[in-house]
Amino acid sequence: MATVRVPAPRSTAADLSVWPASTTEPAHGGLAVGGVPLTEIADRFGTPVYVLDEAEVRERCGAYRDAFPDAEILFAAKAFLCRAMAHWIDQEGLGLDVCSAGELELAVATGFPAERIVLHGNAKSPRDLEAALRLGVGRVVIDSPSEIARLAAAVGPNGHQKVMVRVVPGISAGGHEKIRTGTDDQKFGLPIADGYAQHAIARILDQPQLELTGLHCHLGSQITAVKPYLVAVRRMVGLMMRLHDQHGVVLPELDLGGGHGIAYRPGEPALDLTTLARRVRAELADACATAGLPVPRLIIEPGRAIAGPAGVALYRVLAVKHAGDQVFVAVDGGMSDNPRPALYGVRYAPRLVGRRSTASPARVTVVGRHCEAGDVLASDVDLPRDVHPGDLLAVPVAGAYHLSMASGYNLVGRPPLTAVRDGRARLLIRRESLEDIRNRDVGL
């Protein structure tokens, strides 16, 4: 069994277990990631600012390759995508899962091979499908019955496109109700239970220009247990067996999606990659043997587990306010650069960086600057009692579903993203300026 190179958890006095492996604590309350002091990044690029540790991204890709040597690993671009990220993912030998013409065009324009890209989407626009066919994506994952005829027509009678079908295996898993996608009562995929998946597959098999290469399912996100994936393997292989019996087809691929859970705060559980790989492989081999089918090539689509722990968000404290029993520490970013707490109630473990405080800890709520009471970044966290405006706060595990979900709320402008590596920081995405915002506003 290959060793998985996920950075070992560190448990020092100041718990850095959820920080990038490169994180060090130089003297005087400092914290450095990728060899670059976070204070230096804040001074140079301003705040709020996002920091992405290139080595951590690459290490995590390597950990997946080691754990799943025979599988095709697609990085889920929705977690975070920019040109450099596409480049790193390509160099690390992973493919990409995209869900819009925008993600697809950016990746291909960066030189990412289109045949290693899979297009998802529960409602693909004509532009999405046109870009997919023009650029030659590897597979299109069909998510609704109407897409079959649309795609077949767009491909044309003499064309050819590989497709998969997203099926709903009827499994409830995931860290929050809003990120569970394996059950029949949500918008993604075609349920097995009521026969919609089987019906759609029969129609696809009738389209000579569409080549069905396999089945896909994505159970949800922030899944920390292996069991739901094993149940999914059984149900997917069961469907593959019925398809073989009814249509005589043997599907060569099985895509189990992503959703691998990570710890956002020290002590939280994370999905164990080595165990996942070992048990999924064994379950698949066993299920296929029982079904009398050859073992399909496994595809997985991790997003969060690759990008999330590689990112750090830096904020400057703008105000500290006492209200009743509560202490609110307000920072210069919030739900416009990280909507996750407001969407799913996620909580983080921010740290004071840049100065060493001898003050005793106080229980505080770290809030954003936006005009929503739900704009809370971290509740019930301990920060030094003397935290004050001008202090710098660093939030770990900020690399996935932050900037990719950032909005224009309150017209504050989206923060920049810097990459750190070997003691150097470089700007990958610049700050959205007021001029950028004004330039889009073309009417009166």
Ligand X SMILES: Cc1ncc(COP(=O)(O)O)c(C=O)c1O
Binding site for ligand X (CB under 6 A): 76, 78-79, 97, 120, 218, 221, 257-260, 301-305
CB of 380 to ligand X, least distance (A): 25
Contact 374, 409 (CB under 8 A): no
Cα dist. 228→50, 103, 180, 181, 275 in Å?
33, 29, 12, 12, 13
Handedness of CA 117, 83, 263, 20 (dihedral sign): positive
Closer Cβ to ligand X, 201 or 276, answer by number = 276
Token pair, residue 118, equals: 């899979």
Structure token pair of residue 249: 């087809």
Among the listed residues 61, 82, 288, 371, the single catalytic one is: 371
What DSSP state is assigned to residue 349? Answer: -
Catalytic site residue 217?
Answer: no
Give whichever of 98 and 364 is closer to ligand X, judged by the CB atom.
98
d(CA 237, CA 240) in angstroms, rounded, equals 5
Q: Which is nearer to ligand X, 47 or 144 (CB)?
A: 144
Q: What gap in Å lies between CA 283 and CA 296, rounded to an integer?
A: 12
Nearer to ligand X, 97 or 337 (CB): 97
Q: Between 209 and 404, name the residue whose CB sits nearer to ligand X.
A: 404
Instruction: Report which secondary-structure segment, H or E, holds 393.
Output: strand 392-396
Q: In degrees, to the nearest 5, what angle opens at C-alpha 357 toward C-alphas 353 and 358?
A: 155
Output the smallest distance, CB 197 to ligand X, in A: 15
Closest CB 252 distance from ligand X, rounded Å: 19
CB 387 within 8 A of CB 361: no
Q: What is the nearest approach in angstroms of ligand X to the Cβ of residue 83?
A: 20
**CB of 58: closest distance to ligand X in angstroms?**
17
Residues noted as catalytic: 371
